[in-house]
Chains A and B, each alone.
Chain A
């Protein structure tokens, strides 16, 4: 099993079955983040940091829109149950050591976003000979690049002074989130012949 997409089509495009499976996963993950940021967005802002919530919501929505249009979709019967398991995974889970519900919700969203933005590198799956003019290839590069920038809000929040007293709980929750997202991502890729190191 290769660590990259392929074998590529004659014109250097990623096979549609691989495009479909990977795009479905990314739409599910970034779509969940868009929905959760939308819920977290107040109608009126009263703090400067809330402007970042607005940016995160629109960037996540942009990623979903981009994938919907750039992917060469093909029917994939396995997607139904897979998508259900993905959607379940994005739901909030209790955070040990954090009793305050509102704070726990915020930490859940930040850790999920961190795991998706940091742990999922779709452009790293592209072999060197991938067609740079293909919209799917361009979309994956853009998503990975934007994820690196979006991630900064999560890093600032999770490493920030407000959460310093909860450092161990935050670290443990984040590592669990990373492991879970990584497992789902690897399973998704393995189903279309792409194998990443555990």
Chain B
């Protein structure tokens, strides 16, 4: 198991796939660990990509600073990992907390990227997200990692995914519970206490950007992704049908295919962001549909957009 150094800390990472191929770097969400990208690794390698995954500082097998983690630490670690990939094209994607790190990286080191895919992401804390985040942190403090998982699972996954697992949820939660310590998760969450909105800097992201948002994501709802679409010049917003916040887990085959197609389009010069709003196919390999003209994609009912 290889490790990168960040000061006195060790960061566990994994590099798979052909060394001279375009690379995808995948950034974990808060309670994630790098094994959860397994389907992405397989799919992207089969499509001739190199894949880099890692546990964030404070997460999984990486070292866990006892007291302080700064957001800058995550950017520095990511920069070091991307430095391991040589000079070829690099596509960066992250989910939720990891999406935010990817956004910051694109703002600060965009020249090193060929493409960006923020998923279930946000550039500022809306009042709802701020209060939900505070409540989740309190849940972690009072009830431990298991209680945080109890809150996140039904919030972020569909009934269809949960139903067959209802009588074995403990085993679903166990690996995440084992590898994530309360204090380390708390440190990760608290690295956001001084969060400064990224929205004013989004327009500086010049790389092609595909923004992925689950249809039913209420932790980071459409309006938060809309900010990314409006502000990032070469972007498109892609809505994943019937998906919640954790669609990378629930719809891994579809999402991995979308990532591969995006990078293939960018590399072939076919990508056109145009700030489009698209609906992803239900299954891997299917066609994208444009969001119906004239209707407001920020509403959950078919409301026509006011004429401009």
Chain B contact surface mostly: helix
CB-based contact A152/B67 at 8 Å: no
Contact of B68 among A121, A159, A178 (CB under 8 A): A159
Chain A contact surface mostly: helix
B266 to chain A, nearest CB (A): 39
Interface status of A128 (Cβ within 8 A of chain B): yes
Residues on A with beta carbons closer than 8 Å to the beta carbon of B65: 171, 175
B57 to chain A, nearest CB (A): 13
CB-based contact B68/A155 at 8 Å: no
CB-based contact A118/B183 at 8 Å: yes
Q: How far is the CA of A197 from the CA of B66 in the complex (A)?
A: 17
CB-based contact B144/A148 at 8 Å: yes
Residues on B with beta carbons closer than 8 Å to the beta carbon of A118: 66, 181-183
Interface status of B308 (Cβ within 8 A of chain A): no
| CB 8 Å contact bits of B174-209 with A (1 = contact, 0 = none) | 100110011100100010000000000000000000
Residues on B with beta carbons closer than 8 Å to the beta carbon of A152: 141
Q: Closest B-chain residue to A147, C-beta based?
A: B182
Interface status of B300 (Cβ within 8 A of chain A): no
Contact of A149 among B67, B142, B171 (CB under 8 A): B142
Interface status of A145 (Cβ within 8 A of chain B): yes
Interface status of A33 (Cβ within 8 A of chain B): no
CB-based contact B183/A171 at 8 Å: no
Interface status of B61 (Cβ within 8 A of chain A): yes
Interface status of A130 (Cβ within 8 A of chain B): no
CB-based contact B171/A171 at 8 Å: no
Interface status of A26 (Cβ within 8 A of chain B): no
| CB 8 Å contact bits of A82-122 with B (1 = contact, 0 = none) | 00000000000000000000000000000000110110010
Interface status of A190 (Cβ within 8 A of chain B): no
B58 to chain A, nearest CB (A): 12
Interface residues of A in 145-188 (CB under 8 A from B): 145, 148-149, 151-152, 155, 158-159, 167, 170-171, 174-175, 177-178
Residues on B with beta carbons closer than 8 Å to the beta carbon of A159: 67-68, 190
Residues on A with beta carbons closer than 8 Å to the beta carbon of B182: 118, 148, 151
CB-based contact A197/B61 at 8 Å: yes
Contacts A121-B181, A148-B182, A155-B183: A171 and B144 contacting too (C-beta < 8 A)? Answer: no
CB-based contact A174/B141 at 8 Å: no
Interface status of A79 (Cβ within 8 A of chain B): no
A73 to chain B, nearest CB (A): 28
CB-based contact B142/A178 at 8 Å: no
Interface status of A138 (Cβ within 8 A of chain B): no
Residues on B with beta carbons closer than 8 Å to the beta carbon of A177: 66
| CB 8 Å contact bits of B59-70 with A (1 = contact, 0 = none) | 001000111100
A111 to chain B, nearest CB (A): 8
CB-based contact B144/A155 at 8 Å: no
Interface residues of B in 54-100 (CB under 8 A from A): 61, 65-68
Q: How far is the CA of A124 from the CA of B175 in the complex (A)?
A: 10
| CB 8 Å contact bits of B1-20 with A (1 = contact, 0 = none) | 00000001000000000000
A residues bordering B, Cβ < 8 Å? 114-115, 117-118, 121, 124, 128, 144-145, 148-149, 151-152, 155, 158-159, 167, 170-171, 174-175, 177-178, 197
With A118-B183, A155-B186 given, name 11 new contacts (CB 8 A): A114-B66, A114-B183, A118-B181, A121-B181, A128-B174, A149-B142, A151-B183, A152-B141, A171-B67, A174-B66, A174-B67
> What would 23 A/B residue contacts be, using CB atoms closer than 8 Å?
A114-B183, A118-B181, A118-B182, A128-B174, A145-B144, A148-B141, A148-B144, A152-B141, A155-B67, A155-B183, A155-B186, A158-B67, A159-B67, A159-B190, A170-B67, A171-B65, A171-B66, A171-B68, A174-B67, A175-B8, A175-B66, A177-B66, A197-B61
B residues bordering A, Cβ < 8 Å? 8, 61, 65-68, 141-142, 144, 170-171, 174, 177-178, 181-183, 186, 190
Q: Which 10 residue pairs spanning A and B have beta carbons closest together? A: A118-B183, A148-B182, A174-B66, A148-B144, A178-B66, A175-B66, A152-B141, A174-B67, A124-B178, A171-B67
